[in-house]
Chain A
Amino acid sequence: MSFTRWLRRLAPLMVCLVLLVTACSSAPSKYDQAQKDTTGFGSPAAVDKKAEKGGTFNAFFPGEQGGYKVIPYQEKKGFAEYKLEQDGKTLAMLTISDTTSVPASASKYSAATETVGGFPAVDQGTTATGVLVNDRYQVKVLSRDPSFTKEDRVAWLQKFDLKGLAQLKGAINSVTKPSVALPEAPTAATPAAPARPKDGFKLPRVKLPRLAPSLQPAS
């Protein structure tokens, strides 16, 4: 008799315990591995110590022109981003990043079949086109409006001061075969020989006077 009374008292407690335990454990996610790899003792930094200051990149972005506004958006170590706007509408994002922190980002250019301004170029996904300068600096234009096509992306890539950017330091890690394959859309099947600048090729160091954009805040 007393045992069943105990059981009756214990039952709600047990139910609560079960609910608590199940509530705490969350459903597995496809990002759990990425989370595990980037947390805890000894996990690698997301941005390499040797990565270029984001502010250094500002000088190589295109300036405002012909009704297009180029607005500072983000500036972090190894990365700078501007927003391209026309009539208040965001058309695209313009970015420069240092691939020292993400070597696989540079590796994908080794399969490039196109060039922009003499640098290897690839399409990535459906909205991005990028070039790799000095085997290190990735310059990307990312469409944010359907009206902004691949041709527009290539045109805006050419407005960057790619040659100026090429005068910064070259790759720290030499580009090898991709260790992690980043998703990438095959580029147009034109078998044009990639006119990549040779390793170690350096333009003479001249200071190019740049009017705009000066060092500005990201917004």
Chain B
Amino acid sequence: MSKKIYEIVDKLPTGGLTVRALKTLDTFVPGQWNNLVGFDNTIKTVTGETDEAMVQAIGERAIALFNDKKQGYQSALWLYHTVDSASGLLGAAALANRIGQDTFLGFLKNLSPKPEKAQTIDLAVKLVTEVVAFCKISGIPGDSLSDFLAALGDYSSESLVRMAALVSFDGIIPLGADFSTKALNAIKGMGASDLDDNQTFKGVKAEIPGGNDKAKLSFMTESFESTKGWMDRFVSDHNITQSKLVDNLGGFIEGSRSKLDYLGAFLDMSVKYYEHTGTQTLARRLIERAVAEI
């Protein structure tokens, strides 16, 4: 059965680990993200309309647009959802088994940190997912990096916080302050075979531009290279540091300060920030289009 966009947006959580982790980023991008949830609520907030008949008409057009597969919204949503679940696949079962049994520290002992190589590929795959999904939503050709970069400069609200989470949770925390240089050098040295056993890549590879894994890796490298400058500037402009990030997260993830590599792995499987903010970005754009077309 087809997914119902209004139910997906209605069911976006208002609390939990993902929302709490994203809220810690408010220190760096203050006031950007207010966790907009609920389909009607999103329509009213985005458009400023309160008339129920208008809200209904906007909602119905948004649903029609989402349900038309050719419009690209469904595959964008699939990308945002899949990249998160694929990257956190390994630890999810372990986490489920331990919940309620002991402390977080006890749980960490049973969790292996992700090797740096896997973490690097994850970062690159997530970045390229953003390029492809965002282009699908906005109507930019998916392999047009220069167009994407221009759009990135105008990112705000949930899209901006998603990028903040990407550089923070998948970059700085697991790989350190020089994550972008480190990751770029690493993927430049990789071959297509290095991607073989990476779950995150496997999850979304069908949608990454390129006829084979080699071409896909080359597009990933190119995406990373062209976005690196933006990421570095973003980190320095907003004074994002590993210690500040860990301090903020330490407020609700017990014992995380002393176990950085485990913290990265934990965030990876329990914080679904691509899924959460990706759904919000998609809903916003759909509604913006729907209100203009009716």
Contact = CB atoms under 8 A, between A and B. Distances in A.
A37 B4 CA distance: 12
B7 A29 contact: yes
Contact of A34 (B2, B63, B150): B63
B68 A47 contact: yes
B42 to A, nearest CB: 13
Interface stretch (B53-61, B85-93, B117-125, B225-233): B53-61
Interface in A41-76: 43, 45-47, 54, 71-76
A22 interface: no
B67 A35 contact: yes
Contacts, number: 131
A93 interface: yes
A125 interface: yes
A143 B59 CA distance: 18
Contact of B48 (A37, A144, A183, A218): A144
A29 B57 contact: no
A38 B7 contact: no
Contact of A31 (B39, B137, B151): B39
B138 interface: yes
Contact of B140 (A128, A185, A217): A217
A182 B57 contact: yes
A81 B292 contact: yes
Contacts of A71: 154
Interface in A100-157: 101-102, 104-105, 124-128, 138, 140, 142-144
Interface in B1-34: 2, 4, 6-7
B51 A126 contact: yes
Nearest to B151: A219
A186 B151 CA distance: 37
A142 B67 contact: no
A79 B64 contact: no
B282 to A, nearest CB: 12
Interface in B136-191: 137-140, 144, 147-148, 150-151, 153-155
Given A138-B293, A142-B47, A219 B154 contact: yes
A190 to B, nearest CB: 22
Given A47-B71, A74-B139, A218-B139, A101 B293 contact: yes
B231 to A, nearest CB: 18
Contact of B49 (A30, A40, A81, A127): A127
B4 to A, nearest CB: 5
B147 A38 contact: no
Nearest to A31: B6
Q: Which of B53, B57, B292 gathers most chain A CB within 10 Å?
A: B292
A27 B61 CA distance: 21
A101 B61 CA distance: 11
A213 B68 CA distance: 29
13 contacts: A31-B6, A31-B59, A45-B68, A76-B289, A81-B288, A125-B54, A126-B50, A142-B47, A142-B292, A185-B51, A217-B147, A217-B150, A218-B151
Q: What are the 9 closest A-B residue pairs judged by CB atoms, nearest first?
A: A217-B147, A46-B68, A219-B151, A95-B292, A183-B53, A34-B60, A219-B154, A38-B67, A75-B139
Given A35-B6, A217-B148, 14 more contacts: A46-B67, A46-B68, A71-B154, A79-B292, A79-B293, A124-B294, A125-B54, A138-B293, A142-B291, A183-B57, A216-B147, A217-B144, A218-B139, A218-B151
